[in-house]
Chains A and B, each alone.
Chain A
Amino acid sequence: MDFMVFQYPMITVQACLDGILLGILFALIAYGMALQWGVMNIINIAQGDLVILGGYIAYFMYLYGIHPAWGVIVSPIIMYFVGVGIYKLVINKVVDRDLFISILATFGISILFMQLMNFAFGADVVLANSGYGTTFLFDSAVVLPNSKIFSAFVSIVFAICLVIYMKKSKLGRAIRATAQNARAAKILGVDTEKVYAATFGLNAALCGVAGALISITFTIHPYMGLPYTIRSFMIVIVAGLGNLPGVAMSGMGLGVFEEFADYILGTEFRIGSVFLLLVLILVYRRFKLSRKREYLK
């Protein structure tokens, strides 16, 4: 245990800012998960692997001399079609089944993606350099890499665009209708099959954006997907489905929690503490539910 983080106020500020910037990025991935969980009732274990695949797209652009920031445009476009492809091949066969089947199916996709990425891109850890500088705050006591600020900014822009799209566009309305009641939507003429495919594609596209941002801010590696799946799962569990402000808040909360866990318990418990928090929250929710005699829907 190390309480240095509380002894120096500037470290506390640094940890909070780092956590918030990171959390916004997590929230973007979680929002994608919430979207397709809400609409299709599928928990996508391959979420993190889609993120990493998106990261590789930005990385390859960087390798060929294109600035990786363009990855946030290109990667979602490619990933949208990857998502639709996965839907057509696998997900449409499990979409009406129970949750367990879909978890198994996406778990399989996750393993397949990991191995394919390893096969295609190699097991090396890679990153894309954005060349963005650093912002110094408070007489350079707090340092924020511009790449993290850029990530958070892009995540917010995409989240806002998505909210507007969901509210205003025809497909957005269809998606929301299907989420509320798939059968009713179908009767009223919504092509739910199309809606499902588009939803899965949108989710993959969001993962693509997040992946491109992660390749700029951190590192990517074929086997690094699972922690992102767990984080987004947790954020969605806390925030509930279809609750964007909730997702954003719990994303940032998780980011700050992780940073503080890192300082206090040590970096080795960073991911571990997320898992622990997940267990605690699930136990707590179960406890609350049993008191209210409700089903978790």
Chain B
Amino acid sequence: MKINKIILSFISAVAILLSTSVVSFAKVVGDKIVLGAAISLTGKYSSNGVHTQNGYNMAVDRINSMGGVKVGGKTYKFEIIYYDDESNPKRAAQLAERLISQDGVEFMLGPYSSGLTKAIAPVTEKYGVPMVEANGASRSLFTKGYKYLFAVLAPANLYLDVAIRTAVELNGGKGVRIAQAFEQDAFSQDVRLGILDAAKETGSEIIIDDKLPKELNDMAATLVKVKQMKPDVLVVSGHTKGALTAIRQIAEMKVDVPMLAMTHCDAAKLSKQHGKNSQYALCASQWHKTLTYKDNFFKDGMTYAADFQKEFGYDPPYQSAESSAALLVFKDAFERANSFDQKKVRDALAATNMQTFYGNIKFAPGGQNVDKPMVLFQVMCDGAGKCENKVVAPLKWASAKLIHPIPKWSDR
């Protein structure tokens, strides 16, 4: 009985301690600027959630160790309060509320994925909390008239736009025949809309337009149609499952198509999981380490990749790079605003015009970054089966020449 009491009082003491320490976190405390972020550390987005968190942490450490943020003649350091949103939009919105009204956070970083960003944006907007997000690309985020949302990445409808235009160019400017398969989620459907636009503008024809389910693990039916109809381009977007399933079944069914373009190849570790079978796939990416953008903190993509590798033990996917860039944007905006007033910081964010290792950043009135094109890389393998992603489009950044059309399976 006595022991129970001791345990009980111990627990309540700890609880009181914790609750007071939580309250003492707020916006700008002493020399700290506290940012809030709800991130998917568990649940179905947890791997990309961790990439996001690593990107944020990497930038926080770098900025803090290189002098921090200077506002009003004083130096401040970044600190982030993380909560796990369990990959669940409802939970993410609750946590945003909690960060703002309970923890007193006045500036937010985005979660992972368009869906979760969509859940959080109305909350930050309601409280007038500026949010710089790096992992919500859905077009619908930027058409709602949000004033406090800023995205460092290019919107989803531009993901595979380059692929279609490149295919048309290689076809002598004539329209191409497109087969497409997209998952039924906000992001992939936006990518699809982008393709529809590009097809319309280039006079291309969409001959297969399949939708993929969330539980996708078999797309043989689509591929049989592709075999029969012989399109010029096959476009697939269904997160990592889509990329992995497509490559597996294309290789197994020996589907020949001159161009194969998809999303999420690097998140799916395509070349690692599929080796040579993934060769020639074109992948849309927000960033690639060989791009030659520069900044003062990470120098350039190659240095960023090397530093990231040293710290976290793996090559940074673009999800990490863009998350790091979000912090650079915040620092720049704080210094230009020279204040912690949310409205002033918001206006400074809106006026951002800078280059980071990740790309140029300039926000349109809707909040999307309009100054950074998407890149396409192609999986290229050498004779020994070692595969590498090489940027092939746009030409300005290309480090290798696009291989087109993809050689037939019978000739490989």
Contact = CB atoms under 8 A, between A and B. Distances in A.
Interface of A: 4, 8, 11, 14-15, 18, 22, 115, 118-119, 122-127, 129, 134, 136, 140, 143, 145, 147, 214, 218-219, 221-224, 226-227, 259, 262-263, 266-272
Contacts of A221: 44, 241
A73 B245 CA distance: 25
Interface in B37-54: 42-47
Contacts of B222: 267
Given A8-B228, A266-B210, A223 B248 contact: no
Interface residues of B, number: 40
B221 interface: yes
B218 A218 contact: yes
Interface string B216-256: 11111110110110000000000111001100110011100
A222 B87 CA distance: 13
Given A125-B244, A271-B213, 11 more contacts: A4-B225, A11-B224, A11-B228, A122-B46, A129-B274, A145-B253, A223-B44, A259-B220, A259-B221, A263-B221, A270-B218
20 contacts: A11-B224, A123-B47, A124-B268, A125-B239, A126-B244, A129-B273, A136-B254, A143-B224, A143-B227, A147-B252, A219-B245, A219-B248, A259-B220, A263-B221, A263-B225, A266-B210, A267-B219, A268-B211, A268-B213, A271-B213
A218 B42 contact: no
Given A15-B221, A219-B217, A127 B44 contact: no
B46 A123 contact: yes
B411 interface: no
B184 interface: yes
B215 interface: yes
B43 A262 contact: no
B252 A4 contact: no
B213 A123 contact: no
A-B pairs, top 4 by smallest CB distance, nearest first, are A145-B252, A268-B211, A218-B217, A262-B221
Contacts of B45: 123
A262 B225 CA distance: 11
B278 to A, nearest CB: 11
A118 B248 contact: no
B259 interface: no
B376 interface: no
B350 interface: no
Contacts of B248: 127, 129, 218-219
Contacts of B96: none
B181 interface: yes
B51 to A, nearest CB: 11
A122 B241 contact: no
A8 B211 CA distance: 21
B189 to A, nearest CB: 11
A115 B42 contact: yes
B252 A127 contact: no
Contacts of A219: 217, 241, 244-245, 248
B60 interface: no
Contacts of A218: 217-218, 245, 248
A267 B213 contact: yes
Contacts of B387: none
Nearest to A214: B217
A145 B249 contact: yes
A127 B222 CA distance: 20
A269 B46 CA distance: 27
A222 B42 CA distance: 12
A125 B241 contact: yes
Contacts of B253: 134, 143, 145
A221 B216 CA distance: 11
Interface in B76-99: 87
A118 B210 contact: no
A272 B224 contact: no
B212 interface: yes
A57 to B, nearest CB: 18
A267 B43 contact: no
A127 B387 CA distance: 18
B224 A127 contact: no
B220 to A, nearest CB: 6
Interface in B236-295: 239-241, 244-245, 248-249, 252-254, 268-269, 273-275
Given A134-B254, A271-B215, A118 B43 contact: yes
A221 B212 CA distance: 16
Contacts of B87: 123
A129 B274 CA distance: 7
Contacts of A270: 213, 218
A268 B184 contact: yes
Most chain A CB neighbours (cut-off 10 Å) among B44, B245, B268: B44
A36 to B, nearest CB: 24
A263 B218 CA distance: 12
Interface in B186-220: 210-213, 215-220
Interface string B17-57: 00000000000000000000000001111110000000000
A60 B7 CA distance: 42
B254 A267 contact: no
B181 A267 contact: yes
Nearest to B49: A123
